[in-house]
Amino acid sequence: MADDLSAVAHFLYEAGTLKNARRTGWWMAGVRDPESVAEHSWRTSLIASVIAKLEGADPARAALLAVWHDTQEARTGDVNYLGKKYLPGSVDPRQVTADQTAGMPEIIASAVREVVAEYEDKESPEAACARDADKLECMLQGLEYKAQGHQNAQRWIDNSRGRLTTETGQRLAEELLAQDPLDWLRSALGEGRD
């Protein structure tokens, strides 16, 4: 292959740091070892594909947008909403992505920049689905943390739910709120809910 893949290899190592980057907002809810950015992005991608399929959008595209939506945090870290209040200006994810993809073969770099821009521009149906998936995943994680005894997670549950825009996202939120986080296991085992 004529293209130099060294910048791509660098990025793949960089992306791996997201497996260790914690979602810092959960510390305020009392969660000592919250999920990583990578864990959040993985489930967000699954949710995005589900929402998109039910909304009549492209599930693969929505999942792709969700996969890339927080990759910039490999460089910026996960700055929660309170922390952003004290930053001198907001960091544009498009600029971070441009820096991350510098030196990559243009076919890769431009594709990644386009995906991030589509997510940030919030205009396509797939972007709406991916953005709702991001909020729904946060709500879902909050429900799981609350079930583990972190009652302060309710704030994240409420805020995330209130920011959903798709009909499917809102319907899924209602269903998640009606269930216990282990109902899936009881169902798989053929047990009733206690």
Instruction: Please give the Cα distance from 136 to 121 (Å, whole number).
Output: 19
The boundaries of the domain holding residue 72 are 6-188
Please report, for the domain that includes residue 18, its CATH number. 1.10.3210.10
pLDDT for the residue 1? 46
Q: Evaluate whether residue 25 is within a structural domain.
A: yes
The two tokens of residue 5 are 């893949």
Q: Is 158 helix (H, G, I), strand (E, B) or coil?
A: helix
Residues with pLDDT less than 50, the chain: 1-2
- Which helix (DSSP H) or strand (DSSP E) does residue 160 occupy? helix 154-162
What is the pTM assigned to this prediction? 0.93
Q: Evaluate whether residue 123 is within a structural domain.
A: yes
Q: How many domains are there within the chain?
A: 1
pLDDT digits (tens, 9 = 90+) for 10-41: 999 999 999 999 999 999 999 999 999 999 99
Dihedral angle of Cα 135, 93, 84, 40, to the nearest 10 degrees: 40
pLDDT for the residue 90? 75
